[in-house]
């Protein structure tokens, strides 16, 4: 993680992914799976990651809401969205925000990178390079 990311984290306590993200690591991930199949894979994988608690799932919308406690006692809320791009292709985006008023020192960024690394490993054979 860069010094810039840590400095930005002093004042900002949220991070998210999108197609237009400046950081290539925060770009939306695409998988060659239908939305329903992607939902099953992503949801089951997220439930197995230690340290994360699934608070809410909405299969019809394609959202999983997770909670993570940091080592300093702060709580992070993470929303994982699965979006259907075509009948055989889906996109996964994440948004992570820390509760509280001060910045997160980049912990939301690290959380998203951790979750994406787990998903990319599990879904590597379906990953699309777009």
Residue 8 counted as domain residue:
yes
Residue 53 counted as domain residue:
yes
Residue 129 counted as domain residue:
no
| CATH code of 58's domain | 3.30.530.20
> What kind and span of H or E run contains 73?
none
Residue 128 counted as domain residue:
no
pLDDT in tens, the chain (130 residues): 567 766 666 777 889 999 999 889 999 999 999 999 999 999 999 999 999 999 999 999 999 999 999 887 889 999 999 999 999 999 999 999 998 877 778 889 999 999 999 999 999 999 987 6
Residue 112 counted as domain residue:
no
Residue 130 counted as domain residue:
no
Residue corresponding to tokens 């996109």 = 91
Residue 96 counted as domain residue:
yes
- Alpha-helix residue ranges (DSSP H) falling in the chain: 3-11, 35-47, 107-122
Closest CA to 35 of 65, 66, 60: 60
User: Is the separation of the CB atoms in 35 and 62 below 8 Å?
Assistant: yes
Closest CA to 8 of 124, 109, 120, 92: 109
Residue 38 counted as domain residue:
yes
The total of structural domains in the chain comes to: 1
Question: Tell me, what's the pLDDT at 6?
Answer: 65
State the residue range of the domain holding 77. Answer: 3-102
Question: Tell me, what's the pLDDT at 106?
Answer: 82
User: Is the separation of the CB atoms in 94 and 106 below 8 Å?
Assistant: no
**pTM of the complete model:** 0.89
Taken in order 17, 60, 78, 48, is the CA torsion positive or negative? negative
């Amino acid at each position: 993680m860069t010094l810039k990311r840590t400095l930005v984290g002093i004042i900002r306590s949220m991070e998210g992914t999108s197609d237009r993200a400046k950081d290539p690591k925060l770009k939306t991930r695409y998988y060659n799976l239908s939305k329903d199949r992607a939902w099953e894979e992503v949801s089951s994988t997220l439930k197995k990651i230690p340290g994360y608690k699934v608070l809410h799932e909405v299969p019809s919308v394609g959202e999983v809401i997770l909670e993570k406690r940091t080592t300093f006692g702060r709580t992070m809320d993470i929303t994982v969205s699965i979006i259907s791009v075509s009948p055989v292709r889906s996109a996964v985006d994440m948004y992570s925000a820390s509760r509280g008023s001060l910045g997160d020192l980049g912990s939301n960024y690290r959380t998203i990178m951790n979750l994406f690394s787990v998903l990319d490993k599990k879904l590597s054979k379906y990953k699309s390079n777009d």
